[in-house]
Amino acid sequence: MLTSIRRHVTRVTAGHRFPIETPRRKSVPQRCHATAIIPKAATYLSRVTDPWLNLAFEEWLFRNPELPPHILYLWRNTKCVVVGKNQNAWKECNLRRMQEDGVPLVRRRSGGGTVYHDIGNTNYTIIMPRDVFDRRTNAELVTRALLQLDIPASVNERHDIVVDGKKVSGSAYKLVNTKAYHHGTMLIDSDLKALGTFLKPPPKNLVGKGVESVRSKVTRLRDHSYTIDHLSFCDAVATEFLKYHQVQATHPIELTADYMAKIPKIKEYYDEIRTWEWVNGQTPDFAHRLEHSFPWGDADIHLKVHRGIITEASVNLGADHHAAVALRLSESLENKRYDADGVDEAFGIFDLAEPSSRVLEELAELREWIKRTL
């Protein structure tokens, strides 16, 4: 079904370049005619690898009432780490290592845990009416597709798909009014070393609300099959999906970056999930205590954070000659973003005229330590 559509071109949309495969079939129009008959089920295949754009496509498919009630959406992204809507990325990820390696942080709209995406991972989204939503049913559908590919997969008690007891697919879901979707990853040929690096945060004295990820041993489909790849997996899942809904097999409808120009709602979703207010501002409330011994004194800092903004700060620097500095810094940290830029902004009050160059050097050391520790 999919194996003959491999020729690549590059298109430019809204200032971004996305690798896209030449479509076999024309994309669906934005709106359906009033007399059109909406089929029971349909499959969609993304031809872009931008994580924000793929999530915007997903939201559009989910929210559009003129599309079939049962939808399978298949997609994959370039390297990124994706956190659940109700998670604290500072507790879930190694953000410093991600920044060093140019791996972006993405926040999705569903719940669940943190996952690593790369081109060796394929994502599936199953959209359906809420009254028929069932996680195990969806996981078993994908599992049957893997069995057709001679991969001995099964579904465990957490509704994760496993092979030889190791996880190959984690999933999350979203329920809104009368609709639902269940989406998951599939580790086909992912870089498991990178996964382990980026999803292992450094130790922090950080306490707060939010959903914490459940750590599991993982494996890749490639370690159990020499022939499995993105297209064969997509073909098998699409075939099983249409069979389950008793719909005649058809080629998937392809989604390309051109949709950004044609459908304003997709661009709206895309722009929203790229903002700092969404990625960091959705973080549940938490508190962070930072402690460190410097040659000039002991730093003990307490921060309370709401929606990514420091709302309360208490700074104790131990040394008597830093008492006034600690008080000013406590006041300056409040209402700043809980990130490196916010710390730089808070320390800006000391960049004017300090009487002692030694104090400035110590403050510079303190600032860099706080930025590394967040």
Q: What band does 350 get if pLDDT is binned at 50, 70 and 90? A: confident
Cα(299)–Cα(160) distance, integer angstroms: 44
Specify if 2 maps to a domain. no
Give how far Cα 244 sits from Cα of 34, 70, 101, 190, 327, Å.
28, 11, 42, 28, 65
CB 188 within 8 A of CB 226: no
- Write phi, then psi, for 262 (nearest 5 degrees): -90, -30
> pLDDT exceeding 70 applies to what percent of the chain?
89
Q: Which of 257, 279, 301 is the last residue of a domain?
A: 279
For residues 183, 184, 189 and 194, what is the CA-based torsion angle, rounded to 10 degrees? Answer: 110
Q: Over 50: is that where the pLDDT of 162 sits?
A: yes
**What is the arithmetic mean of pLDDT over 304-313?**
97
For residue 300, the enclosing domain spans: 286-373
CB within 8 A of 69, min separation 6: which ones? Answer: 38, 40, 41, 127, 128, 129
**What is the arithmetic mean of pLDDT over 73-82?**
98
Q: Over 80: is that where the pLDDT of 2 sits?
A: no
Q: Which residue has the higher pLDDT, 81 or 355?
A: 81
The residue type found at 319 is: A
Spatial CA neighbour of 48 closest among 232, 228, 260: 260
Q: Over 80: is that where the pLDDT of 286 sits?
A: yes
Mean pLDDT taken over the chain: 89
**What is the arithmetic mean of pLDDT over 298-306?**
97
pLDDT one-digit tens code per residue, 131-148: 999 999 999 999 999 999
In a shared domain, residues 219 and 140: yes
In a shared domain, residues 262 and 315: no
CATH, residue 231: 3.30.930.10
**Angle at CA 179, nearest 5°, toward 238 and 75?**
35
Number of Cβ atoms within 10 Å of the Cβ of 359: 16
Specify if 301 maps to a domain. yes
Q: What band does 354 get if pLDDT is binned at 50, 70 and 90? A: low
CATH, residue 321: 3.30.390.50
Specify if 3 maps to a domain. no
In a shared domain, residues 218 and 349: no
**What is the arithmetic mean of pLDDT over 210-235?**
94
Cα(121)–Cα(310) distance, integer angstroms: 36
Domain count, the chain: 2
Q: Which of 279, 296, 328 is the last residue of a domain?
A: 279
pLDDT one-digit tens code per residue, 3-35: 433 333 333 333 333 333 333 444 444 444 445
Specify if 21 maps to a domain. yes
**What is the arithmetic mean of pLDDT over 309-324?**
90
Spatial CA neighbour of 283 closest among 231, 329, 338: 338
